[in-house]
Structure 1
Amino acid sequence: MLINRYINIQIFCFLIFPYKYAHAQTQGSLLQQIDCNGACAARCRLSSRPRLCQRACGTCCRRCNCVPPGTAGNQEVCPCYASLTTHGGKRKCP
């Protein structure tokens, strides 16, 4: 009887703990999303074409979850952001 209870507890733990761990990881990743609108507004504030800059920056931010600091340059801070290119091979992200 005691052995059956012990086995049931082990099975329960193997089934429940991975679910709780995966759920905790999902919740944590949702909390770490950056505010793309705010980050891109800061990045594009000096652009001569702010709407185009905001649109491109927003696309890159949603894909990479990162926007380099400042209004230009600093692309080494976000390698994903720096690696996105257009069909013509030019950098996509401002």
Structure 2
Amino acid sequence: MASKALIFLIASFLLLATKASSKDDEDFFSEVLAKTPAPAPAPVKAPPPTLPPVSITECPRLCGVRCSLHSRKRHCTRVCMTCCQRCKCVPPGTYGNKEMCGKCYTDMTTHGNRPKCP
């Protein structure tokens, strides 16, 4: 009988000790959270610069530069001319920089939903 009472006393002591320590932990964490500064807001990205419209007479020269390193130059030039006439823009360089021509150039797709403009 004495052993049951001893076990009961030890169990109740452990129960009270864990409740007291969890309350201390809550106070500790609330203090830590109160001292930490709020995260800074994410910087807003500026839209990429867009190029001025190109006249249709400049399309062959610009598309020639754009497709100069392409493995299928005639195909690239034909597609580039279509994009240039519709969007009035050809990105600089031989690859990439499509975002400089805006949504018209970047969102034009083929029948297979692949990007059309080189």
Could you state the TM-score of these two structures normalised by the residue count of structure 1? 0.64
Tell me, which stretches of 5 or more residues in structure 2 are unaligned? Answer: 1-53
1:88 to 2:103 alignment: no
Larger radius of gyration: 2
1:33 to 2:90 alignment: no
SS in structure 1 opposite 2:92? coil
**Greater share of helix residues, 1 or 2?**
1
Q: Which moved more, 1:78-87 or 1:35-44?
A: 78-87
1:54 to 2:80 alignment: no
Deviation at 1:93, TM superposition (A): 0.6
For 1:76, the equivalent position in structure 2 comes to 99
Q: CA RMSD in A?
A: 1.1
Q: 1:63 aligns with which of 86, 91, 95?
A: 86
Counting aligned pairs with the same residue, the percent is 57
SS in structure 2 opposite 1:90? coil
Could you state the TM-score of these two structures normalised by the residue count of structure 2? 0.51
The one-letter code sitting in structure 2 at the alignment partner of 1:33 is S
Paired residue total: 63
Measured in 2, the distance between the counterparts of 1:69 and 1:83 equals 18
Deviation at 1:81, TM superposition (A): 1.1
